Amino acid sequence: MNIKDSILNTAKKTIAIEQNAIANLSNLLDDDFANAVELIYNSKGRVIITGIGKSAIIANKIVATLNSTGTPAVFMHAADAIHGDLGLILEDDVVICISKSGNTPEIKVLVPLIKNAKNKMIAITGNNTSFLAQQADYILNAYVEQEACPNNLAPTTSTTAQLVIGDALAICLLELRGFSSKDFAKYHPGGALGKRLYLRVSDLSSVNQKPQVTLNTNVKEVIVEISEKMLGVTAVVEDHKIVGIITDGDLRRMLTKTDSFSGLTAKDIMSSNPKRIDENAMAVDAMEVMEEHGISQLLVEHKGKYAGVVHLHDLIKEGII
């Protein structure tokens, strides 16, 4: 077997081991999981998530997922907790403690302190007979038969299982809260995902110039209008309503068909019934229309009247595409 085949075989074996472990997690779910979700949902406090080593890294990811889906959460490193950070935990907070073995020295020191403070504690562990499991109010079983590591030592499958349990918690809480796409946008205003959910056509078209001509505008003035407004297009407007569109492409096609355009007007070269979109539509809808029809610009309307232009470059600039 050559080295490439060996690498691919190892990768496939790793994925298969983790895949089987994740599939088995469904069989480990019980009332404790449902009770833990309800506890967090009904809590007036936050979720404090703690762990040590690789479990601490997973704890950080779960905190991020909870915060972004409507459940306030804070990370507390288990080692730091017993050296001052225990003050992070407030009276109504729920603590989630993550540990594969449930028997690490830091966990054995930390858990009694949490219990003394009367905070409810949820354990995510692969060992239901561990010290952590015995002290927890609810146990979320993250047992895995083996690590993907050939020595069965490096946390691989076990941390993946912990992460999946955390995702399951977050999504259950999301659904209980009725967390919508609008809520998601509120928590992600600066990212491309958020922009796809809240950015409207008017947010883009309002900063563009507004090229327009009438049916009887001569072609020379049409060219000047398209050039000055720098959008590669102009609307043909009558009584504030869109009746046509002229693009750079229309001008090029005109030049191939005639040697003289001195007597031509906008109505002679325009395309009727152009694609358009309401200014209150989502920017992502404008993108879909452009992709469907293979165009780079869309005319924008407000209450049936011409309101401007949205360009493909606007969508790219904002990260929508």
Residue 91, both tokens: 């009276």
Domains of the chain, earliest start first: 3-179 (3.40.50.10490), 198-317 (3.10.580.10)
Give the pLDDT band (50/70/90) at residue 195.
low
pLDDT at position 263 is 80
Separation of alpha carbons 31 and 164, rounded Å: 17
d(CA 202, CA 225): 21
- CA–CA dist 130, 311 (Å, integer): 60
Q: In this model, does residue 198 exceed pLDDT 90? A: no
Residues 23-40 pLDDT 10s = 999 999 999 999 999 999
Q: Is residue 193 over pLDDT 70?
A: no
Q: Beta partners for 218?
A: 265
What is the spatial distance between Cα 255 and Cα 253, in angstroms, rounded to a whole number? 5
Give the pLDDT score at 194: 61
- In residues, how long is the chain? 321
Task: Choose the weakest-confidence range: 50-59, 109-118, 221-230, 256-265.
Answer: 256-265
pLDDT number for residue 139? 98
pLDDT at 48 (0 to 100): 96
CA dist 242 and 259 (Å) reads 29
Q: What share of the chain is helix, strand, coil (3-state, %, to 5)?
A: 50, 20, 30
Is the pLDDT at 174 greater than 80? The verdict is: yes
Whether residue 109 contacts residue 81, with contact meaning beta carbons closer than 8 Å, is answered with no
Calculate mean pLDDT across residues 238-245: 94
pLDDT at 190: 59
* CA neighbor of 300 nearest in space, from 249, 250, 235, 256: 235
What confidence tens digit (pLDDT) does each residue in 106-160 have?
A: 999 999 999 999 999 999 999 999 999 999 999 999 999 999 998 988 999 999 9
Give percent of the chain with pLDDT exceeding 70: 94
Mean pLDDT to the nearest integer, 8-16: 95
Report yes or no: 59 and 51 within 8 Å, Cβ to Cβ. Answer: yes
Whole-Å CA distances, 304 to 22, 114, 126, 208: 53, 62, 62, 19
Q: For residue 246, with 0-12 CB atoms within 10 Å meaning exposed, 13-18 middle and 19 or more buried, which class applies?
A: buried
Average pLDDT over residues 294-317: 92
Mean pLDDT (whole number) for 59-76:
94
At residue 68, the pLDDT reads 86
Query: What's residue 278's pLDDT?
Result: 94
Report the alpha-carbon angle 88-136-64, nearest 5: 45
Write down the pLDDT at residue 188.
60
Instruction: Kindly state the helix (H) or strand (E) to which residue 141 belongs, with its residue range.
Output: strand 138-141
What pLDDT score does 321 carry? 67
Task: Identify the bridge partners of residue 277 per DSSP, sorted by sequence position.
Answer: 300
Please report which confidence band the pLDDT of residue 81 belongs to, taking 50, 70 and 90 as the band edges.
confident
Q: Is the pLDDT of residue 251 over 70?
A: yes
Span 41-45, mean pLDDT?
95
Whether pLDDT at 96 is above 60: yes
The pLDDT assigned to 226 comes to 92
CA distance 183 to 8: 41
Res. 308 pLDDT band, cuts 50 70 90: very high
Residue in 81, 26, 21 with CA at minimum distance from that of residue 49: 81
* Mean pLDDT for all residues in the chain: 91
Q: Looking at residue 197, what is its pLDDT?
A: 65
Residues paired with residue 74 on neighbouring β-strands, in sequence order: 48
- Tokens of residue 148, six digits: 């993907």
Give the angle 33-34-37 at the CA atoms, nearest 5°. Answer: 90
What are the tokens at 225?
């209008």
Q: Which whole-number Å values give the CA distances from 216 to 21, 194, 237, in the listed order?
A: 72, 43, 10
Query: What does the pLDDT read at residue 163?
Result: 97
Q: What is the pLDDT of residue 298?
A: 93
236, containing H or E segment: strand 233-238
